Amino acid sequence: MTVDGAFDSDRMVAALVRLHQALQDIALPLDVAGAEEQRRSHAVLVDQLEDYVIPRMMTIDAPLLAVVGGSTGAGKSTLVNSLVGRRVTAPGLLRPTTRSPVLVHNPADAGWFGQDRLLPDLKRVEHATDDPKALQLVASDNIPAGLAILDAPDVDSVEEQNRLLAAQLLAAADLWIFVTSAARYADQVPWEFLKAAAERSTAVAVVLDRTPADAVQTVATHLARMLAARGLKDSPLFIVHEGQVSDDGLLPAAHVAEVRGWLDMLADDVSARQAVVAQTLDGAVRALTFNVHPVADAAAQQADALVRLRSDAESAYARARTDIMAATADGTLLRGEVLARWQEYVGTGELLKSLENKVGKLRDRMVGALKGKPQQADRVSVAVESGLELLILEHAEAAAERAESAWQQTEAGRGLLADAPGDLGRASRALRSKAERAVRDWQHDVLEMVRTEGEDKKSMARVLAYGVNGLGVALMVVTFANTAGLTGAEVGIAGGTAVVGQKLLEAVFGDQAVRDLAHRARTALELRVDALLDEEEGRYTGVLDVLTVDPAAPDRLRQAARGVDDVRYATQRNAD
């Protein structure tokens, strides 16, 4: 990968910015299988782009950044001080040591390390601090121009914050100087970092520090074999012999001369320095585009899980809507208290026997039977109100239980239920009062329909004769016996009592008007039931709505990764 061509660099920066945006659009909020691992991968990819790849690609001529990292107690800070020739970073006498990372650079290169450049989330300071969110900048003439050395925390620190910071800093390195010792060189954690470096083709140099003379040959040979076995056979291996540390915290200059000479060579040789940068940068870009695909797959899995969760909730409440409206049309409500109050109102004797008489005679009989019974009409209305409320509450409760049961079947659903406010497995506490209000409002709708239908003089006289409330409860009863468009005598619900309401309304308004009134009343009821259940369902869907999982984001991420690969391959072809 050539990095000195402005055209290629500009195209790559644009492609990387698109990849960064596509990663930012990815959300992994659901606890599906493997989600936690992919969240970490997602965070690493974003950090790698922000901390190193994009800033480095935009400032390709910046000094080579060598990050010194390694095991606890390996002597990293002492090595850095010795390479610089003066104390610039304090060795950690107590473990874990919490302090900011220290970046040493030539004064002429100060402009390359501003807040808008490398590691932009670390604030810049020029004094020693224990703030791990700060980057201490130290200018030194002992560091050649074109080179910067960064002292990182221990990769195996017992302090998690130190480990995370070390990983972040090493991911931002052009060159990783891995420091170990005869006692620590086989430790597992540092080798996990070295494995990742090898997979990304990161330039690595290894320093075997604090090694007794009689152990150098044995340890160095074994370490070299381990490096070769892990894909790092071309990494330089330097030996720093055990020596007396001065009062200033420095090793004898001769002990670090080989390492210092190699770094000076890189600083002086532009081509060699660019080769190191190109190797690490190309490896980082290649690893990025490779590793985004599992994240994209995880995001697609999240979108699928979200669709299932939403479907489970919607299905539970759709069934509740269907069951409620079925129960309000098949005569279910014309039993119990409603039936008893209705029969008290219309009677079951001579009035029912008169149904086959002519309309005029029936009307007269009804007026005589119902006149002076407004309280009985109110009792029917109260019974209807109570029955409807109970029906709505029962089915809303069942819907909540079904939705909760369905969500409990998946890991993602269980996580959402655990974090959700209140008890989603029960109907909301406010539903009872809302249902009471909705039913009363519907009953008001029905009375208004009756009142409006009887506005002409002829009908109004009849309406006044029976009373708006009486005709209203009759319309409610007819509505509850309305199945598949059939009413009254066509279904004969509840011992013929609904037929009485049908005939009563027909006597006042006519057959077609009654059918229209029943349809309008039923539609008005359905709208109010839907509104109640929509709010109940919203307790579930609202939990999903805030997750901002974009089903198109995975494809955008894959496309952005392919765009970066296309630029990378084109650059390589041009270089060849």
Residues near 189 by Cβ (< 8 Å), separated by ≥ 6?
71, 155, 156
Contact between residue 76 and residue 68 where contact means Cβ atoms under 8 Å apart: yes
Residues near 311 by Cβ (< 8 Å), separated by ≥ 6?
none
Angle subtended at Cα 175 by Cα 291 and Cα 219, rounded to the nearest 5 degrees: 105
Higher-confidence position of 169 and 369? 169
Q: Is 555 helix (H, G, I), strand (E, B) or coil?
A: helix
Q: Which of 20-24, 90-94, 493-497 has the highest mean pLDDT?
A: 20-24
The average confidence (pLDDT) of the chain is 84
- Whether residue 30 has pLDDT greater than 90: yes
Higher-confidence position of 174 and 128? 174
Contact between residue 101 and residue 151 where contact means Cβ atoms under 8 Å apart: yes
Q: Which of 251-260, 463-472, 500-509 has the highest mean pLDDT?
A: 251-260
Show the DSSP H helices in 236-269 as ranges.
257-268
**pLDDT band for position 74 (cuts 50, 70, 90):** confident
Lowest mean pLDDT among 103-107, 242-246, 431-435: 242-246
Sign of the CA dihedral 316, 317, 320, 325?
negative
- Whether residue 459 has pLDDT greater than 70: no
- Whether residue 7 has pLDDT greater than 90: no
352-356 contacts at long range (C-beta below 8 A, 24 or more positions apart): 352/496, 352/500, 355/489, 355/496, 355/499, 355/500, 355/503
- Whether residue 553 has pLDDT greater than 60: yes
Average pLDDT (205-222) is 87
Contact between residue 364 and residue 357 where contact means Cβ atoms under 8 Å apart: no
Overall pTM > 0.85: no
Closest CA to 488 of 332, 480, 403: 480
Q: How far is CA 62 from the centre of its chain?
A: 37
**pLDDT band for position 198 (cuts 50, 70, 90):** confident
Q: Is 92 helix (H, G, I), strand (E, B) or coil?
A: coil
Closest CA to 575 of 139, 12, 35: 12
Q: Is 4 helix (H, G, I), strand (E, B) or coil?
A: coil
**pLDDT band for position 314 (cuts 50, 70, 90):** very high
Average pLDDT (123-135) is 86
| Per-residue 3-state assignment (H helix, E strand, C coil) for 178-231 | EEEECCCCCCHHHHHHHHHHHHCCCEEEEEEEEECHHHHHHHHHHHHHHHHHCC
Which residues are 64's β-sheet partners?
147
Report pLDDT for 351: 39
**pLDDT tens for residues 339-364?**
788 777 776 433 344 334 444 444 44
